[in-house]
Amino acid sequence: MALDGFNDQTLPRRAMKAELLDAETELRLAYAWRDQRDEQALHRLITAYMRLAISMASKFRRYGAPMNDLIQEASLGLMKAADKFDPDRGVRFSTYAVWWIKASIQDYVMRNWSMVRTGSTSSQKSLFFNMRRVQARLEREAAARGETLDMHQVRQMISTEVGVPLHDVEMMEGRLSGSDFSLNATQSAEDEGREWIDALEDDAEQADQKVARNKDLDTLREWLLSAMAQLNDREQFIVRERKLRDDGRTLESLGNELGLSKERVRQLEAAAFTKMRKSLEGQSSEVLQLLA
């Protein structure tokens, strides 16, 4: 690995002592890694820019993540940048690496902010990392004009500023304002023994729903069997194999088994469906959908 020999305690200190690469040396190392997979060149390139990764990681400490974890994520972003960097494009590696380092840290922060997934789209990520800053600026500007903004106005202005829907702003505000709580925590001091999980609606099928569903299925089955009884043995076989199996067979495979052409099987199938539709007219549309 490119970071072998480093640990959480020595990494920042050694990174600050690492060499500063000029453009020519950086380019030579990048070519050596891309073209020859020279691990020493990769190690030297990454080590030289670890100070950049650590500097960027320190900017995210306000989100409550341990600094060592942030540095590790920044290191992963730096290694991804080194692996994907194309020296032929004519840009400095540091310029290219900034995006990968930042993306890696941001993904880590959002994954660990809450047990509830905070968001994954670029607009949600932009909102997560910019909402508080934009809100503070908007409120300062309003105060300078002698205005007072209510929260609805603030949310609308943030939505316009960041370029995201208003409901995304409202959702993110809730994510950022609260923390995770256990469903086994009591709701209040007055509700002794009553936990939040007790207030959740049971999503399981209720008894009356199950009875009604089973009755409907029995009725549908009777109608289908009655319609199938109008068919001869070959037609029943084709309908069963084509429509009543989880993995319905092809016309070609049925033709090979029955000694018929694919077109003849299709004609028999169409004739069988016509007979069944006549038998099922006025009955459930759910059975008719099977014959579509």
Domains assigned to the chain: 11-113 (1.20.120.1810), 122-179 (no CATH), 208-290 (1.10.10.10)
Of residues 128 and 100, the one with the higher pLDDT is: 100
- What pLDDT, on a 0 to 100 scale, did the predictor assign at position 186? 59
- What pLDDT, on a 0 to 100 scale, did the predictor assign at position 205? 64
For 155, phi then psi, to 5°, come to: -60, -40
Tens of pLDDT, residues 125-181: 777 777 777 888 888 888 888 888 888 888 888 888 878 888 777 777 766 665 544
pLDDT exceeds 90 at position 35: yes
SS3 75: helix
- 115, two tokens: 């047990």
pLDDT exceeds 60 at position 2: no
pLDDT exceeds 60 at position 4: no
CB 168 within 8 A of CB 127: yes
CB 256 within 8 A of CB 199: no
Q: Which of 62, 91, 93, 58 is nearest to 78 (CA)?
A: 93
Of residues 254 and 14, the one with the higher pLDDT is: 254
- Looking at the chain, the whole-number percentage of residues with pLDDT higher than 90 is 23
Tens of pLDDT, residues 65-79: 888 889 999 999 999
